[in-house]
Amino acid sequence: METLAAVGQVVLSLYFLYNGANHFLNFRGLSAYAAAKGVPAPGAAVAVSGLMLLAGGLALLLEYQVAAGAVILALFLVPTAFFIHNFWAVEDAAARGGELAHFLKNIALASAVLQLPQVIG
């Protein structure tokens, strides 16, 4: 069971590290997306959220300050769910379904990472 937990921890960490890096590799596109969603100072928001994802992902991967990393990730995931993936405001049914999936994913990931300090802290 320890091996499975370790693999899960690495995979989860890499998910956040990948997405954090993507915030910088696709900075222009994500800034435009954030602007279209009405995010104030979209470039700064993309940079800060990218750093949050990288910091949280590293904390989980290195098992260093896991509680702080989990909180940082949750502080990214929950507001993003409500303000970026606000499915209730989308008229197109297909787009609404996509936003609902992202909303639920973010809430589930936030719930999962907030449990990690008890598991690997």
The C-alpha angle 63, 25, 116, rounded to 5 degrees, equals: 20
pTM: predicted TM-score of the whole model, two decimal places: 0.93
Query: Where do the domains of the chain lie?
Result: 2-120
| Tens-binned pLDDT, residue by residue, of the chain (121 aa) | 688 988 999 999 999 999 999 999 999 999 999 999 999 999 999 999 999 999 999 999 999 999 999 999 999 999 999 999 999 999 999 999 999 999 999 999 999 999 999 888 6
